[in-house]
Each structure stands twice: as C-alpha cells, then as structure tokens.
Amino acid sequence: MQDIIPFVQQNLIMSLIWVGVFIALIANIVKTRTAQYKEVDTAEVTQLINREQGIVVDIRSADEFKSGHITDAVHILPSDIKANNFGKLESQKSNPMIVVCKTGQTAVDIANHMAGAGFENVHVLKNGIASWSEANLPLIRGKKKK
C-alpha cells in the first residue's frame, strides 16, 4: 500500500489515464442505468415484435431503408421525430418502440427524444441494422407500401 504514492509520482501520465478510464466506465454504467430507453439485441427485438406488438422505427435515410429493412418497420426521418411529427405512431405510445439506425449510434438520441415525447416503452437495437444483418435475419428490400 505504501508503494502506491511513489508509483503514481513516477508514472503520473499512466496513472491519470487509468483514473480517466475508471471515471469513464463509471459514467457509462450510470448513463446506461438511468437512460429512458433500453438497449436490446436481435433476439429481444424479435420477442418484442412477436409477443408484445413491438413497432420497429427505422430512422435511416430513404435509400438505406429501401436497400433493406425489418419486416413491417415504420420509416421516419430523425428530423421528423425531432419536430414531434410521429405520424401514425402517435396513437401507439404504449406499444414497445424499437428504434433502428445503421449502427445504433443515432438511435440513442432519437430514443431519448421519443421517451421525452411520451412514448412509454422505447428500445434501441444494439449495433443497429448491422447486427440484424449479421444475425442473418430477414430484410425486406424495396419501398414498403403505405
């Protein structure tokens, strides 16, 4: 125990890096536990869709959506969601909503916005549509008819 102070003094930069990593880890854990959404994997998404009438909200661009989307996914642009223009989702705020983007990064911001707008059960597909494709789950090609 008495060797810690001399070690830190001799290795100040490395010690500061370790403290920074530890703080970042704790902040990430706190953020995950207090988030207004839940991050789910592909198996959980299929359960939400099949057992709880979950609705997939695809926020990718129109071209990306046409190139392949989850069956019955609703395509809404992030700009529409940020403008509180939820369309037909407005009447289904109590249903599970699964927000999907390309890699899972953009979906977090949109999921927080949806939760703040009164959606009760918001989820984000971990690693986005990329994880769905990697799991060899089906994608619908072409534009979905409304």
Any domain includes 145: no
Structural domain boundaries enclosing 29: 4-33
Closest CA to 42 of 115, 106, 100: 100
Instruction: Enter the tokens of residue 49.
Output: 């869709």
Q: For all residues of the chain together, what is the average pLDDT?
A: 90
Could you give the number of structural domains in the chain? 2
Residues 9 and 52 in one domain: no
Q: Report pLDDT digits (tens) over 26-73.
A: 998 887 777 788 999 999 999 999 999 999 999 999 999 999 999 999
Q: Are 100 and 81 in contact (CB under 8 A)?
A: no
CA atoms within 13 A on the CB side of 62: 2
Instruction: Indicate the pLDDT class of residue 74, thresholds 50, 70 and 90.
Output: very high
CA angle 83, 146, 72 (to 5 degrees): 85
Provide the phi-psi class of 101: left if phi over 0, else alpha when psi is between -120 and 50, else beta: beta
Residues 86 and 69 in one domain: yes
The reported pTM is: 0.76
Residues 28 and 46 in one domain: no
Residues 115 and 55 in one domain: yes
Closest CA to 59 of 92, 88, 90, 86: 86
